[in-house]
Structure 1
Amino acid sequence: MQNKEYLNWIDILKGLGIILVILGHIRLSPELISYIYLFHMPLFFFISGYLMNINKYDSFNQLLKKKTRTLLIPYFTFSVISIICYSVIGHKDIDVSATILSFIEGKRNEIYFNVPLWFLVGLFVVEIMYYIQKKLLRNDILLLILAIFINFIAVVFLNVIETPNWIWSIDTAMYYLLYYQLGNLFRIYKDKIDFKKVFNKVAVGIFVFLCISFNLLSLISPDLINYVYNSLNANSGFLFIRLIIYAISGIVTYVCLAMYIKKSTTLEYIGKNSLIIFALHWPIGIWALDMLKVQLQIQIVHSNVLAIIELIIILLILKPIIKIINKNFPIILGRGDFFGTPK
């Protein structure tokens, strides 16, 4: 029963996360897009870290095989699908050399035929980095300190927020490693906190309250948040702290929301199929919607109401595709006996 409840809330959280991703890619108001971009990708790395059970892997080769199957195979298959959609649905000419280079490099924001796919190679790098560090250090406090330091390097010295440059999004992976680490720590320690002790209960309660309050404040009054931090932007060290505060407050808020909801058939469905939706909402959902707007001569404007309608249409467009892939082509998702592992 506990396992089922766990699956419920984590699938709900993934569902909320993928909705935020789609909304961040369509014509939502700039203020809400800015709000979403504060934490939506840290949230997905947090979820991935939570789902990581390092004890399942007896060796690095076993981990490498599993992550190649579940991340790199989908990266390849969805890239092929995206390139076809880019040509057919988007009516774009394919530059073969640029396409191959974009696919091989896997840089954040530079996979032009399907920008979000960088997440798959970025997550692959993060999981490899985390596994190696975990095996070498074996101390969660040291691992957390190291992740914070690597995050600092990525923000301050590599300027990864504005100009990601490294192949396979390695510099971006350095930034997101911290949130993956926090997700894994949450998995390990969330049931070990003794809430019978008043101090623990009060401390966790205050922390959650502050995170949710800050997240809601950034949603309700983004100008106020920007005003508070504008004077700090000149120093990248303060930017590093600011980004962590924004990300953690968003993660805590939506983890609490998912746990509060407990049961939602729609969100659980979206969460369970988050990989397909994540990979195809751009090349199929958004492009198909844009093509429909052109055909109907609908003016493209930024509107929160229209964005919600677009979100629903995109999910409806993808629903039959999700069914077809799950039933007939699970190999696209890295599942099946073809890879020598059970489904």
Structure 2
Amino acid sequence: MAQSKRIRFISFLQILGVILVILGHSLHEYPGDFHQFWFYRMFQTVRMPLFVFISGYLFMISMVKREYNVSLVDFIKNKAQRLLVPYFVLTILTFVPRALMSEYADEPVKMDINSFISSIFFSDKLTIVFLWFLPVVFVLLCVSFIGIKLFKNRLSLFFLIGGILSIAGYFCVNQWEWTFM
């Protein structure tokens, strides 16, 4: 498959992912037993892994195929600017209004330093819950960058180790009800 056809296919997957995210957020509050409907459960299960797959594929093209040569420090600076700065700025800007309006919220937030720190790092305490993926993507990109640099000639081994750790993490997170990032 030619490179332009691959990119076109990725563009199609991106559009599909956006549609699935919009549907997921639109139908989230739908009353009744709709959440038990197989189609709803299917696209809820597929939409975020689809974005992770697309990101990983494009990341691989930029790093491996084009021999992306940048230092770890420059890579982290760039990703922090693009992902963490907006995340922190929006969290800081929304924390105070959310804490002030806690009496009207389903889940009140205290106006103290512990609540503020929790609102940055724990997914069940975020002030803007829809931004949970920004720090997660930052960590995944940094781990991937380091892994690709370390396992340059053995990428299959890196992917195998990553897959095993992902599966183990999935079961541990569900078991411990861990909400960090």
TM-score by length of 2: 0.71
**Unpaired segments of 5 or more residues in structure 1?**
170-343
Rounded to whole Å, the distance in 2 between the matches of 1:34 and 1:6 is: 24
Percent identical pairs in the alignment equals 23
Rounded to whole Å, the distance in 2 between the matches of 1:111 and 1:25 is: 19
CA contact (8 A) 1:79 1:114 kept: yes
| Distance change >3 Å, CA 145–CA 103, structure 1 → 2 | same
Residue 130 of structure 1 corresponds to 144
Give 1:1-343 correspondences, 5 Å limit.
2=4, 5=8, 8-23=11-26, 25-27=28-30, 29-32=34-37, 33-52=40-59, 53-54=62-63, 55-83=67-95, 86=98, 87=100, 91-92=104-105, 94-97=109-112, 98-104=114-120, 106-108=121-123, 110-138=124-152, 139-156=154-171, 158=172, 160-161=173-174, 163-165=176-178, 167=180, 169=181
3-state SS of the aligned residue for 1:39?
A: helix
Rounded to whole Å, the distance in 1 between the matches of 2:90 and 2:55 is: 19
Rounded to whole Å, the distance in 2 between the matches of 1:144 and 1:64 is: 21
**Unpaired segments of 5 or more residues in structure 2?**
none
CA contact (8 A) 2:119 2:126 kept: no
Residue 193 of structure 1 corresponds to none
Residue 162 of structure 1 and its aligned partner are, at CA, apart by 5.2
Larger Rg: 1
Letter in 2 for 1:51: L
Residue 119 of structure 1 and its aligned partner are, at CA, apart by 1.1
| Distance change >3 Å, CA 77–CA 90, structure 1 → 2 | farther
Rounded to whole Å, the distance in 2 between the matches of 1:35 and 1:22 is: 14
CA deviations 1:70-122 (Å, max 9, x no partner) are: 11012113323543663569944641225312233x233x1342223221111
Residue 144 of structure 1 and its aligned partner are, at CA, apart by 1.9
Runs of 4+ in 1 over 6 A off after TM superposition: none
Rounded to whole Å, the distance in 1 between the matches of 2:22 and 2:175 is: 24
Rounded to whole Å, the distance in 2 between the matches of 1:46 and 1:85 is: 36
CA deviations 1:207-266 (Å, max 9, x no partner) are: xxxxxxxxxxxxxxxxxxxxxxxxxxxxxxxxxxxxxxxxxxxxxxxxxxxxxxxxxxxx
Residue 282 of structure 1 corresponds to none
Q: How many correspondences in the alignment?
A: 164
TM-score by length of 1: 0.41
Rounded to whole Å, the distance in 1 between the matches of 2:138 and 2:48 is: 15
Residue 279 of structure 1 corresponds to none
